[in-house]
Structure formats: structure tokens, C-alpha cells
Amino acid sequence: MPRLAVLTGSPGTVPDAVSAALAHAGFAVRHLPIAADAPPRPEDARGAEVIVHLGCRTPRDLDEDARARVEHAVARAAALLARDAGARRCIHVSTAAVYGRARNLPCREGELKSPRTAHERIRWCAEQGSWSAFRSGAPLVVLRPTPMYGPTLLGGPVRALALVSLFNQHHRRVPILRRGPVAHLLHVDDLARAVVHVALHPADADVVGRAFNVGDDAPLPLAEHVAAALSALGYQPGRVLPALPRVYAFLLWLFRHVPDRVLLDPINRRLLRGWRALGGRRPGAGGLLSPRIEREALHWMARDHYYDTSRLRAIGWRPAHPISTTALPDVVRALVATRRLPDPGTPALPAW
């Protein structure tokens, strides 16, 4: 009889990847939705060896405090469910964004948490819900992945490629930044493998009550990530733009002090209109990945973000995609093949 793993949280491509990896490792996988106002019963997860909490998506237009309370409650409920159902592990998939701007690099798991944006604060609040359950006896393990990419992911770093496609419909050479900030990326399949790894690790003392950074082996400058992705999309790196940290600092100040409804929301609505028009001009492009500018992206572009992953490596985990620039081209080609990104070989009508 296969082992049982229960997944909690909102559906999506990351839960799908984790589910597939657990199934491949011999687990029977059950999805269990949890609502903040309706905690699950222990019998809902009876017999589960592992409970994996993958986060709860809350509406962007909801008040930040309300979103934080919901995600905190759901994460705590999932961890307490693991305790009450007798599960051996409760794995909370959090994010490296909870550190905010790290004081020391590479950033270790014990670094001060100083989230800067609503997204980062909400994710840290959710993780705190799980830690409060750990103090009540939940067998908690926390994974903090760096920004992810993959052939099915429609957010994160690949959104930058959507912007490139939108603004460079008639150009094959795209200006890129000189070097840029250094950061890890993580293939979604490697996150799924990390979940399986800590789920199957034989020694509870090595993983329970601990957090683990999850990233690839080679944090690289933004320019190298961009060059690899652009080449796969059919573009060539063009003029090298200078790094302008003071300009980024000003943009961050502006976005921090101007409400989204005044600045970001109108920009993103305009981007979406242009993207939909582009999709209408390219046959079969209705499922295009839409561009969006977010506060988090500006923070990540403004300074280095790389992490110490030695704690996870010490218990035997290794990424299958250790260098993002070797895996990114295949991911980009897959996004084009599934029409999530426009085919650069398909002609477009006059640009937006």
C-alpha cells in the first residue's frame, strides 16, 4: 500500500509539480482544501505520513492585514492537522522573500526577517503561523525557495520576457543591463525534489524544526540570466546599459510611497491591454503569459539576493538544474511551444 501525502493550499502549477514528484516517489497524493474559518478534522488526513502546505492565495484587492490573518490561520491549521493526524512531517513551502533585504550575503536561514512589501510581509506572517503550531507540537519543516522558473509557471522571472516580447515586436536586438544584481533562481522541479527529499529523510532531528533555503548552485548576475533567456526567445543581446543603482533607488522610493491604484495599477492595465492586442494579432496566442510590474521585482533588481543553501546540501539534496542559464533556454522554448510566450517567428501587426 503506498504512503499517503496530503497537500493543502491553493491549486496551481507548483502544487502540481510537488504532487507529481511525490507520486513518482511512491506516495498516494490527496489534495485537501483548508479555509481559515473551517479548520480540517484529523480524520481528513488520517494515515498521512506527510502533509505539505503550499500556501493559500488571497485576493490582491483584499486588505493586507486581512490577507495576512487568513494565510496565518490556514498555515497554522495545516501544521496542527499534521500533529493531530499523527503525520511524520509537515512541510511548509514558504519563500526566500521573507528575509527582505538580507544584511549579510550569502543569506543564512537564521538571518533577521525584514520583509519590505505586502507580499513579503504576508508570506512571513503565514510562516509564523506554522512556527506557532510547531511550538504546539507540529512536526514542521520549512522550505524557502528562491524565485522559481519552469515550463508551466506563469509568474516570476519569466514575466520579464513577456515585457520584452511586447516592446520589441520589430527588433531582434534587445538592450541588456551591465551585469546587474546577483541572484539565485530555482527550477520548479527542483523545489518538488526538495519537498520529497525532506519528506523521506530518515532522521527527524536533521529536519524537524528547521528551515532550509532552496536555490540552484550558481547565483548569477541578472545580465547572464537575461542573455540566456533572450537567445532562446529568438533575440540577441544588444547595447549594454549601465547599472544605475541610484535610479533604481529612486524608483523603489517612488513605488513605496505612491499607492498602487495611482501608479502601478494603471501601468499594469495598460500593459494588459497591449498584451491582449498582441495576442489577437498572433494566431493561436490566446493563452499568452501576461506582463506585470510588481514591487517585488524592483526590489530584486536593485541589489544582490543570494542565499546559503549548505544546510539542505548537508542532508544530501542536490539540484537537478544547478545552473539556471543551462536550463532557462529549454524552459523558454517550452513556453513558446505551449503559446504562453509569443513565437518570435510569427509576424505581428504594428506594435502597441
Residues 143-182: tens digit of each pLDDT: 999 999 999 887 777 777 777 777 766 666 776 667 778 9
Report yes or no: 143 and 198 within 8 Å, Cβ to Cβ: yes
Per-residue pLDDT band for 5 (boundaries 50, 70, 90) equals very high
Q: Are both 233 and 278 inside the same structural domain?
A: yes
**Predicted local distance difference test score (pLDDT) of residue 347:** 46
Q: Are both 7 and 47 inside the same structural domain?
A: yes
Q: Are both 46 and 176 inside the same structural domain?
A: no
97 occurs within a structural domain: yes
Give mean pLDDT, residues 20-42.
Answer: 90
Q: Are both 67 and 203 inside the same structural domain?
A: yes
Q: Are both 26 and 167 inside the same structural domain?
A: no
Residues contacting residue 304 through CB under 8 Å, at least 6 positions apart = 105, 181, 182, 183, 219
**Alpha-carbon distance values, 351 to 230, 254, 271 (Å):** 19, 29, 12
Q: Tell me the C-alpha distance between 157 and 148, whole Å.
A: 7
Q: Among all chains, which residue has been given the C-alpha cell 541610484?
A: 246
**Predicted local distance difference test score (pLDDT) of residue 104:** 93
* Burial letters 8-17, b for 16+ CB under 10 A, else e: bbeeeebbeb
Convert the pLDDT of each residue in 285-341 to its tens digit: 445 567 777 777 777 777 889 999 999 999 999 999 999 999 999 998 988 888 777
Q: Tell me the C-alpha distance between 196 and 42, whole Å.
A: 23
Last residue of a domain, one of 214, 231, 255: 214
Share of the chain above pLDDT 90, in %: 52
**Predicted local distance difference test score (pLDDT) of residue 350:** 42
Residue 127 CB coordination number (10 Å): 25
Separation of CA 181 from chain center: 18
Per DSSP, helices labelled H in 282-323 are: 295-302, 310-314
Q: Are both 144 and 169 inside the same structural domain?
A: no
Last residue of a domain, one of 174, 199, 214: 214
Domain range for 266: 153-183+220-305+323-337
Q: Are both 110 and 252 inside the same structural domain?
A: no
pLDDT beyond 50 at 281: no
261 occurs within a structural domain: yes
User: Structure pTM?
Assistant: 0.88
Contacts by residues 25-32 (CB-CB < 8 Å, ≥ 24 positions apart): 25/196, 25/199, 25/200, 26/2, 27/2, 27/3, 27/199, 28/2, 28/3, 28/4, 29/4, 29/5, 30/4, 30/5, 30/6, 31/6, 31/7, 32/6, 32/7, 32/8
**Predicted local distance difference test score (pLDDT) of residue 229:** 84
Q: Is the dihedral of CA 280, 283, 289, 291 positive or negative?
A: negative
123 occurs within a structural domain: yes
Q: Are both 295 and 178 inside the same structural domain?
A: yes
31 occurs within a structural domain: yes
318 occurs within a structural domain: no
Convert the pLDDT of each residue in 123-135 to its tens digit: 999 999 999 999 9
Residues contacting residue 179 through CB under 8 Å, at least 6 positions apart = 221, 222, 223, 243
**What is the β-pairing status of strands 186-187 and 236-241?**
unpaired
Residues contacting residue 227 through CB under 8 Å, at least 6 positions apart = 176, 237, 325
Per DSSP, helices labelled H in the chain are: 13-24, 64-85, 118-134, 159-167, 188-200, 204-207, 222-233, 245-257, 264-281, 295-302, 310-314, 324-337
**Predicted local distance difference test score (pLDDT) of residue 81:** 96
351 occurs within a structural domain: no
Q: Among all chains, which residue has been given the C-alpha cell 500593459?
A: 271
Residues contacting residue 328 through CB under 8 Å, at least 6 positions apart = 149, 185, 225, 228, 229, 232
285: which 3 cell numbers?
496566442
Q: Are both 77 and 203 inside the same structural domain?
A: yes
167 occurs within a structural domain: yes
Q: Are both 293 and 210 inside the same structural domain?
A: no
- Which is higher by pLDDT, 85 or 255? 85
**Alpha-carbon distance values, 301 to 64, 177, 179, 222, 244 (Å):** 24, 10, 11, 8, 10
**Predicted local distance difference test score (pLDDT) of residue 240:** 66
Last residue of a domain, one of 214, 229, 258: 214
61: which 3 cell numbers?
484587492
230 occurs within a structural domain: yes
To the nearest whole number, what is the mean pLDDT of the chain?
Answer: 86
Total number of domains in the chain: 2
171: which 3 cell numbers?
527588433
- Nearest of 231, 232, 183, 197 to residue 314 by alpha carbon: 197
- Which is higher by pLDDT, 264 or 120? 120
Query: What DSSP string runs through 175-230?
Result: EEESS--EE--EEHHHHHHHHHHHHH-S-HHHHTTEEEEE--S--EEHHHHHHHHH
Q: Are both 172 and 117 inside the same structural domain?
A: no
Q: Are both 51 and 171 inside the same structural domain?
A: no
Q: Which of 51-65, 207-221, 236-250, 290-304 has the highest mean pLDDT?
A: 207-221
What's 14's domain CATH number?
A: 3.40.50.720
**Predicted local distance difference test score (pLDDT) of residue 163:** 75
